[in-house]
Amino acid sequence: MAKERVLITGGAGFLGNVLTRRFLGEGHKVTCLDNLMYRQDQSIMPLAANPDFEFVFGDVRDRALMEEQVPRHDIVFHMAAIVGAPASEQRPFDTKSINQDSVAILESVRGKGQKVVFPNTNSGYGTKSGQFHCDETTPLEPISLYGVTKCAGEDILLQSGKGAVVYRLASVFGISPRMRLDLSFHDMVLQALSTGAIVMSEGSFTRNYVHIQDVASGFQHAIQNYDSMVGEAFNLGSDGANITRKDLAMKVSQRIPGTVVYENEGKADLDKRNYLVSNEKLRRVGFEANRTIDQGIEEVRRGLAIMLKNNPYRNV
């Protein structure tokens, strides 16, 4: 891949952190534009030693800043977002202005020759039967504010004349320098490690999952194959990771012996995700996620076990 100038908005986030490191590792010049909303400065600070890394503190809703930063890059990964239905419900104004309105700003200031890759969510498929197989022809019927605004961002980019590659991401898991413990996959592992039990709800609901490193590889693939993928949306998940919440919890319990799984009514998923996802379209353009659920559980188990050694809230 030719060495290019890459702008990653939200580059200090859970996914952005991994993408930043991946593209620096490929020899690109990477600019991370982030407002450090979650005080994640320490996750990105070590990269200052790399002369190809630049950090810009700012907000993607700042049109003047975007006019200054976007045109000087060859590639833009617009990762900045309020992510997840619960966070979006708590911050509705920020959710719309970041997830949707900032995409319109990006579209208005970018040049035609710039490559743009945008992450949507497969939560946009809305409520389906647990056996319904969603592909890219399945109508988007988002339920939560998060899903609505991310799908609106996709629409802005795909309806423009400039083009973009959009990924409808499965539920992401895996270790990141800016770790998220609110993700259901990580939460199950954390519960098992810290309490010896997993308490979960909606056990029969099926979700599709994908490893964070496979997502980074998918973004690389989009840039390497941009001309054949531009103007399209692709599901990005693992066909081997269409799994019910209860089956995922049982897999975690097998990896962490002694864990007991309890199911209760609990708090409902605001996106009501309950469907299988097909990733065949992405396979046809040469990419397939290959890390497994079991590999992810072991990775996350090892990572969170380190964190818990110095966790002041542990019981033992």
> Is the model's pLDDT at 40 over the cut of 50?
yes
Residue 204 has what pLDDT? 85
Q: Would you kindly state where each structural domain of the chain is located, as residue ranges?
A: 5-125+139-173+210-238, 184-207+240-308
Compute the average pLDDT of residues 198-213: 92
> Is the model's pLDDT at 49 over the cut of 80?
yes
Residue 125 has what pLDDT? 86
Lowest mean pLDDT among 62-66, 167-171, 201-205, 253-257: 201-205
Compute the average pLDDT of residues 274-283: 92
CATH topology (fold) of 184-207+240-308: UDP-galactose 4-epimerase; domain 1 (3.90.25)
pLDDT in tens, 149-182: 999 999 999 998 899 999 999 999 999 999 999 9
Lowest mean pLDDT among 83-92, 103-112, 120-129, 201-210: 120-129
Taking the CB of residue 236, how many other CB atoms lie within 10 A of it? 29
- CB distance 156 to 109 below 8 Å: no
Pairing verdict, β 242-244 and 206-211: antiparallel
Cα four-point dihedral sign 173, 176, 181, 183: negative
Hey, what are 308's tokens? 């818990």
Contacts of 201 (CB under 8 A, 6+ apart): 245, 263, 264, 265, 266, 267, 268
Architecture of the domain spanning 5-125+139-173+210-238 = 3-Layer(aba) Sandwich (3.40)
State the residue for tokens 């992405």.
282
- CB distance 167 to 222 below 8 Å: yes
> Is the model's pLDDT at 313 over the cut of 60?
no
State the residue for tokens 């941009």.
226
Domain 5-125+139-173+210-238 shares a fold with domain 184-207+240-308:
no
